[in-house]
Chain A
Amino acid sequence: MTGEIAPFTGFGLGLRKEHHAAFLAAEQPVDFVEIISENFMACGGRPLHTLGAVRERHPVIMHGVSMSLGSPHGLDRDYLAELKMLADRVSPLWLSDHLCWTGVPGHTAHDLLPLPYTDEALESVIANLRLAQDVLERPLLVENPSSYHAFPESTLSEWEFLRILAEESGCYLLLDVNNVFVSSVNHRFDPLEFLDAIPRDRVRQIHLAGHSQGPEGLLIDTHDAPVCAEVWALYAQAVERFAPCATMIERDDAVPPLGELLAELDQARSHASLPA
C-alpha cells in the first residue's frame, strides 16, 4: 500500500484528559488535535463521546504507541483491526507510530524500545510497515524515538535507517525534534547531520516536547517540561528544511493548564516564521 498524504500546515496539541473539559466547552485556537490512538481503541462511553465532540470542532491526528513496528515476530492483527476501526470512525489527517519495538510475545514493555540499526531490523520494520499500511489502507507516519542505548551491531545511522525505510515502504515521517536533540546528546552525533539526511518531501509533522536530565549526562524524553532553547533552535532549522508541515507540542506529565500550552504553541508559531 502506497499513497499520498497531502501536506498540512498547522499547530496543534495532544488531547489529554486534563484538557478534555476545555476542549468540550469551546473551540480552542489549535489547527488540529493529536490523540493517543490506544486511549480510544476498543472502548466506548465518555472517552469516545469526548473524542466525537472534539472531532466535530478540530481535525484529528491519530498517534500510536503500541504498533511495535520493530518486532521481528510481526504485528498483532487484532491490534491493527482495532486501530482500523478507530481510524474509520475518526477519519484522521493521518496515523503515526514510532520506529521502535514495544515487547516480545507475552510481555509488553509499554515503552518505545530502541532497535539496532541493522539490515535485519530494517527488513522487519519494512515488512511490518507494509502490512500495517495495507491493513489500514493508507500510508503511515513513522516517528524517530529518543534512545538511551546504542547497539554495537548497528551498521546504519538512525537517519540512514529512516531514509531507507521511507524509500522502501512509502511511509512518511514524523520528525520529533526533541528526540533528535535528546538522542544527539546521548549518542554524540550532530543533530543537523540528522536533519540534513532526512528526505525533505517525506516529513509531514514535527513533534516538540521537553526533556529532563538523567544519569551520567544522558537526557531523558520525559514530556514533562516546556520546550528548551536548544530544541527551539533545532526546530527553526527543521522548519526551514521540512515546511510545510504540522507542528505539535507533546506534554504527558506535569500537564499544565491549557492556556500555558497554547502560549507555548504561539512560541512555535513564532519560531516557525523566523529565519533559522
Chain B
Amino acid sequence: MSLIERQRGFIAEIAADDDLAPSSPGMAIYRNAYRARLADALAVSFERTRRWVGADMFDLASAHYILSHPPCSWTLDAYGERFPDVARELFAQDPEVADLTWLEWHMQQAFAAPDRGELTPAMLAGAELGESDWERLELLPAAGLAFRPVACALPTLWSALADPAARPLSPAAIEPAMLLVWRKGLAPHYRLVALDEFAALAPLLDGASFGEAAAQAGEDRLDQFGQWFAQWLGDGLFAGLRLAD
C-alpha cells in the first residue's frame, strides 16, 4: 500500500460515522480526537448560539456539520465558516439562529482580521482634498467588514447572551435592516443600519468613488448623505483612502 493510499484510508476511517467501527483502540483515539477537536472549535466559535439553542440541540447540529463538512483549511479557526448555512437549514423554524451564527462568526472574524488601519475624520481632513479629489475619492472598508440583512432585534439578543445565565426572550421582529460588523481599533463592532442608509453606503463598500456614491444617493439627499458619511467615518467603517486615476 502506498503512503498516499495509506493516508486516504486513515483519514476516511477517523472521519467516518459510527456505522464503521474503528479498526483498533488506537484508531478509536484518533477518531475521538478528530471529533472532539472539531466540536470544541464549533462550541468556541458559536458560544452564544450554543447558549441560545441549548447544548443538546447545538451538539446535534455540530455532529451533523462535522460529518457533512470535513475541514479543509490549515487553520482550525476557519472551520465554522459554513456553519451559518447549516444552521439556516437545521433551524429553519427559528430564523434568528442563522442570524445569530452569522453575527457570532463575523464578530470573531473581525476580531482577528488582518490589520488595515483606520481612516479617522482627522486623517481625512489632513488629506486636504480638493473638490475634484472628492469626485475620485475611494474608501477601503475596515478590517473584517461584513453585512447581512436581518428582520429581528438581533443586537438585543446578542447582548443578552453575553451573560451565560441569561434566558432571553425571542427577539422581536423589526423593520428589515442591514447588520454591519467591522473592527475598530482592537475591538469588533456591529450596528444595525436602516436600509436607506445602507443603500447609500453600499456603493462605497463596492469600490465606487465618493462622487459616484453621492450621485447615486441623489441631489436632493446630499445633506443626508453627508451626515451619514460623517457617522460612517466616526464609526471607523473605513480603513484608508485612495484617489482613483
Interface residues of A (CB under 8 A from B): 38, 41-49, 66, 71-73, 76, 79, 101-104, 106-111, 113, 115-116, 118, 120-121, 124, 147-151, 153, 186, 214-216, 218, 220
Contacts and interface: CB of A to CB of B under 8 A. Distances in A.
A218 B29 contact: yes
Contacts of A47: 112
A45 B112 CA distance: 5
B189 interface: no
Contacts, number: 119
Contacts of B186: 45-46, 49
A72 B15 contact: no
Interface stretch (B6-14, B90-98, B158-166, B173-181): B6-14
Contacts of A220: 29
Given A110-B37, A215-B25, A153 B114 contact: no
Nearest to B33: A111
A176 to B, nearest CB: 17
Contacts of A48: 115
A6 B183 CA distance: 41
A47 B113 CA distance: 10
Interface string B181-192: 001001100000
Pairs of residues from A and B, 10 with the lowest C-beta to C-beta distance, nearest first: A44-B115, A148-B26, A149-B26, A66-B74, A43-B112, A216-B25, A44-B114, A148-B29, A46-B186, A72-B3
A109 B112 contact: no
B37 A120 contact: no
A103 B11 CA distance: 7
A111 B216 CA distance: 51
Given A115-B3, A150-B26, A218-B29, 16 more contacts: A38-B77, A44-B112, A44-B115, A44-B116, A45-B110, A45-B115, A66-B75, A72-B4, A79-B74, A103-B71, A104-B11, A106-B72, A110-B41, A148-B27, A149-B26, A220-B29
B75 A44 contact: no
B34 A109 contact: yes
Contact of B3 (A41, A111, A120, A149): A120
A186 B3 contact: no
B109 to A, nearest CB: 10
30 contacts: A38-B76, A43-B113, A44-B114, A45-B112, A45-B183, A46-B111, A46-B112, A48-B115, A79-B74, A106-B72, A107-B15, A109-B11, A109-B15, A110-B38, A110-B41, A110-B76, A111-B14, A111-B34, A111-B37, A115-B3, A120-B2, A148-B27, A148-B30, A149-B26, A150-B26, A153-B1, A214-B29, A215-B28, A218-B26, A220-B29
B29 A116 contact: no
Contacts of A147: 26
Given A107-B15, A215-B28, A218-B29, A42 B75 contact: yes
A49 B186 CA distance: 8
Nearest to A118: B3
Interface in B62-113: 70-77, 79, 110-113
B229 to A, nearest CB: 25
A45 B111 contact: yes
Contacts of B6: 116, 151, 153
Contacts of B75: 38, 41-42, 66
Nearest to A150: B26
B24 interface: yes
B67 to A, nearest CB: 12
A153 to B, nearest CB: 7
Contacts of B74: 38, 66, 76, 79, 102, 108
A244 B111 CA distance: 40
Nearest to B70: A107
A232 B72 CA distance: 38
B213 interface: no
A106 B144 CA distance: 25
Contacts of B115: 44-45, 48
B143 interface: yes
Contacts of B7: 71-72, 101, 104, 113
Contacts of A109: 11, 14-15, 30, 34, 71
Given A49-B186, A109-B34, A42 B3 contact: no
A193 B40 CA distance: 37
